[in-house]
Amino acid sequence: MPTPILFIPGFMQPASAWSVVAEQLDPPTTLLDHREHSFEGRLAEIAAAGEGALLVGYSLGGRLALRAALRDPARYAGLVTVGATAGIEDAPTRTARAEADDRLASWIEAAPIEDVVAIWERQPLFADQSEALIEAQRAGRLSQNPVELAYLLRTAGQGVLEPVWHELLRFELPVLAIAGARDEGYTSAAQKIAETAPNARAAIVADAGHAAHMQQPDEVASLIAAFRSRLDR
């Protein structure tokens, strides 16, 4: 049987955001539908659902998958990240990000979800996404609870999480770091992950930005399938 795959969604995404990719891969595959909305709560969900699995996470989900694998590498078969990083190394930059995220969280928990989504989907990180793709994601984003989103941002945002680049130096689990070619910051992060972890490689997806798994699902599915086949040998 092929290695099981556990798909982990990004911030403000339902599990179904991974559906188009997962449908192209042989079972067993599981789309993790989170019920917890804190860093530790989501790591516990990953541990419970992902034993023996290849973890595949996007953005926030990639950060969580990476830290879950670092915490208990023997529990998992491998790791794939899409548009993710191992953290902000510069301490002042990380502090500034944490403060900005806390302000954003305060606004999110007091705002209607319609306003939160309207602002979120128009941020520069998603500027290269088509109107059709933005609209396709809207229902999933509107299903979120603003209070839960705010708590997740305060506990699992990039500013509050310590960087883990140094831990990657001794991380032996197979890793595939994927990024969209138009997503320059995360392309650099993917390449750095590949250069840092002993058993890691990067894959840059053409004609894609931050959400490569949604912009080029066929290519991302193919990359995951090839990576999984190596685990199965």
Q: What is the pLDDT of residue 185?
A: 96
The rounded mean pLDDT for the chain is 97
Are 128 and 209 spatial neighbours (Cβ–Cβ below 8 Å)?
A: yes
Provide the edge-to-edge strand list for the sheet that holds 200-205: 29-31, 5-8, 54-58, 78-82, 175-180, 200-205
pLDDT digit string, tens, across residues 68-91: 999 999 999 999 999 999 999 999
Q: What is the pLDDT of residue 163?
A: 98
Helix ranges restricted to H, the chain: 19-22, 39-49, 60-71, 91-110, 113-120, 131-142, 146-156, 165-168, 184-196, 212-215, 217-231
- With bands split at pLDDT 50, 70 and 90, how would you rate the model's confidence at 65? very high
Q: What is the average per-residue pLDDT within 6-19? A: 97
pLDDT digit string, tens, across residues 110-121: 999 999 999 999
Q: What is the DSSP string of 143-175?
A: TS-HHHHHHHHHHHSTTTSPP-HHHHTT--S-E
Residue 176 pLDDT greater than 90, yes or no? yes
pTM of this structure: 0.97
Residue 233 pLDDT greater than 90, yes or no? no
Q: With the CA atoms of 223, 227, 229 and 231 taken in that order, what torsion angle do they form, in degrees rounded to the nearest 10?
A: -170
Q: What is the pLDDT of residue 32?
A: 98
The residue type of 103 is R
pLDDT digit string, tens, across residues 191-226: 999 999 999 999 999 999 999 999 999 999 999 999
Residue 8 backbone phi and psi in degrees, to 5: -120, 120
